[in-house]
Chain A
Amino acid sequence: MSDLAGPNPAPEGLYAQPARAAEVLGRQRLRERAKNALFRGLLLFSLLLGVVALVVLLADVLDRGLGHVWQVVTSFPSGLPARAGAQSAIMGTIWLMALVALFTIPVGVGAAVYLEEYADRSRRWNRLIEVNIQNLAAVPSIVYGILGLGFLVRGFVGLGQTLLAGALTLSLLVLPTVIIASREALRSVPDSIRHGSLALGATPWQTTWRQVLPAAIPGIATGTILGLSRAIGEAAPLILLGALTFVTFNPEGLNSAFTALPIQIFNWISRPQDEFKLLAAGAILVLLVILLSMNAFAIWMRSRYQKRW
């Protein structure tokens, strides 16, 4: 009877001594409750730390930049803060994104389909490729910039400081992310779909093209957009490539000189005049709007086409 705290307290004991039972149960509950509260507090603190920092930054940028957004969108770079804008950089960013999407989606999805649907994972060669892709996704963006500069701009390919060279460099940067996201999406398509299709006499290619890929499209699209929104904020590789900071015209084609929003922002912030810093806040707002609308589109896609298995 006295062994109520033991592993298997006899129920009769509890009923026989309600006061003692209440004591045992109550003590445990109190300790657990304290632990719960502490843990909950810690988690909430971690969350707030990020959210508060973000809110402060956003409020600051909004406060400083909102009045300058229109000027940033409509004007071209100028040495005079009152006339300066970033239309060429905005157009450059949009061009870059479109080209990067064009380059990375077919190649990235193709690589993912090969790795998920065709590659024999027991082969050392295929495992090596997998590990390399994981590593490439973690390579600092400036390294891609060096590669682009040495290989695409100056070296073997020699494209010069063009939009095409910039887009190709950013594509290399985004490609591992797109491959990994697409693989995740393909992997989330259950094997029962593949087996059902193959059992009907469909070839592996018909199965991939008509069943697996369509079912994976929402995931692929989401991952690709999130990858692109990583590239949109990258300044480092483009600075290395020598994307110009003073381009007074919108890009006209693949061989056009170009600039992009992160570079423009970087340039303005490094100027001594305070007016340019306000313009930079305005450009940051434009970049944020582009970025958030891309992410919103990705979230919409995901919920719109979510599959139940």
Chain B
Amino acid sequence: MTHVELDPGPTVTEPESQPLDPAGTGSQRGTPEPARAHESDGGLSESARAPEPDAAATPHDTIDHAVDEPVFATRGLSVHYGSAPAVLGVDMRIPAREITAFIGPSGCGKSTILRCFDRMNDLIPGARVDGEILYHGVDLYGPGVDPVQVRKRIGMVFQKPNPFPKSIYDNVAFGPRVLGAGGEMDEIVETALSRASLWDEVKDRLKENAFGLSGGQQQRLCIARALATDPDVLLMDEPCSALDPISTGRIEDLMHELKETVSIVIVTHNMQQAARVSDRTAFFIVDLTAGEDRRIGRLVEYGPTGRIFTNPHDTRTEEYVSGKFG
């Protein structure tokens, strides 16, 4: 059933009322082969383009390509640091206005892939990105694409809250100011802080230094800062790993509200968090077959969160989500 919907082409397919069919994908569960994700990247993208009729025989029923309205579509996405491969052969389509979670053990390359989506990998000396990342059909790494323009559309929230050493107001206003945004700045700041559900807590001390806020408030300030430029996508790199459970809960609630208007991709170490907040989950793994010192990240399984956690197709996913390793 699913393979009929498979269309990993760059253009957005016509929206369907029923975006996903968990029962359908579950029905074609094949015998998981541990070695399947180690196959060549060419094989992955090849079959993604032209799915074979025998779904059980293809090694890729673990990657669900049935996304109606993808905001990102990657094809053969690989990242190298110097000559060492970090992540190889990622083919996935990330839906608009949903929350997609990247999970997997340390070093599996989930943050590396996330940083490709707003070209933050450009800042790491020696990082090289191969393959395609289509953002609404445009290759983000294509010639003539300015990373600064990419980052204006795609916001990012980092692992550790990183407010600027300025007032709360100036933190939020910084993005709109550098973009030369017109309009009433006070209004922009208030809207962004409200969307990050921080306004009520800080409205009386907007001129105070942002370092005076608690860790959870600082992280929500960073979210507000990213929202102030009205991005299309919000990338979140383990945004709650430095926060206490209450602050984490507030940010998760916030994500649910935000996905009405913004597509969210979140990297998380916390599987419960992925299960709680995300609509789709991608599971990455560290592939050690090339040797202990050549750790290669690979995408093993990707699909609706409910299915990944209750009915994983790959034994490694099953072992990871049931807590057997990682």
Contact = CB atoms under 8 A, between A and B. Distances in A.
Interface of A: 120-122, 190, 192-203, 206, 210-211, 214-215, 307-309
Given A195-B120, A201-B229, A215 B175 contact: no
B153 to A, nearest CB: 8
Interface in B164-186: 164-165, 174-175, 178-179
Given A203-B178, A210-B178, A307-B165, A198 B123 contact: yes
A122 B125 CA distance: 9
A193 B162 contact: yes
B285 interface: no
Given A200-B175, A210-B174, A308 B211 contact: yes
Interface SS of A by simple majority: helix
A211 B163 CA distance: 11
A235 to B, nearest CB: 41
Interface in B223-250: 225-226, 229
B151 interface: yes
Contact of B225 (A121, A200, A308): A200
A153 B187 CA distance: 60
B158 interface: yes
Contacts of B307: none
Interface of B: 118, 120, 123, 125, 148-149, 151-153, 155-156, 158, 160, 162-165, 174-175, 178-179, 211, 222, 225-226, 229
B120 A200 contact: no
24 contacts: A190-B162, A192-B158, A194-B123, A196-B158, A196-B163, A196-B164, A197-B178, A198-B123, A198-B148, A199-B120, A199-B151, A200-B152, A200-B155, A200-B175, A201-B148, A201-B149, A201-B179, A201-B229, A202-B174, A203-B178, A206-B178, A210-B174, A210-B178, A211-B164
Nearest to A190: B162
Given A199-B118, A199-B155, A200-B151, A192 B162 contact: yes
Nearest to B228: A200
Contacts of A211: 164, 174
B158 A203 contact: no
B225 A195 contact: no
Nearest to A203: B148
Contacts, number: 69
A122 B124 CA distance: 13
A201 B175 contact: yes
Task: Tell me which of A199, A211, A215, A308 has the highest count of chain B C-beta atoms within 10 A of its own C-beta.
Answer: A199
Given A201-B175, A203-B178, A192 B160 contact: yes
B262 to A, nearest CB: 15
A200 B174 contact: yes
Nearest to A189: B165
A197 B225 CA distance: 10
Contacts of A198: 120, 123, 148, 151
A193 B155 contact: no
Task: Tell me which of B120, B174, B211, B225 has the highest count of chain A C-beta atoms within 10 A of its own C-beta.
Answer: B174
B159 to A, nearest CB: 9
5 smallest CB-CB distances across A and B, nearest first, come from: A201-B152, A192-B162, A200-B175, A199-B156, A202-B178
A307 to B, nearest CB: 5
Contacts of B148: 198, 201-203
A196 B162 contact: yes
Contacts of A215: 165
A122 B155 CA distance: 30
Task: Tell me which of B123, B160, B178, B226 has the highest count of chain A C-beta atoms within 10 A of its own C-beta.
Answer: B178
B226 A200 contact: yes
A194 B120 CA distance: 11
Contact of A201 (B158, B178, B211): B178
A121 B162 CA distance: 26
A201 B222 contact: no
Contacts of B118: 199
A74 B38 CA distance: 86
A194 to B, nearest CB: 8
Given A122-B125, A211-B164, A200 B178 contact: yes
Contacts of B125: 120-122
A211 B149 CA distance: 19
Contact of A195 (B153, B158, B179, B229): B158
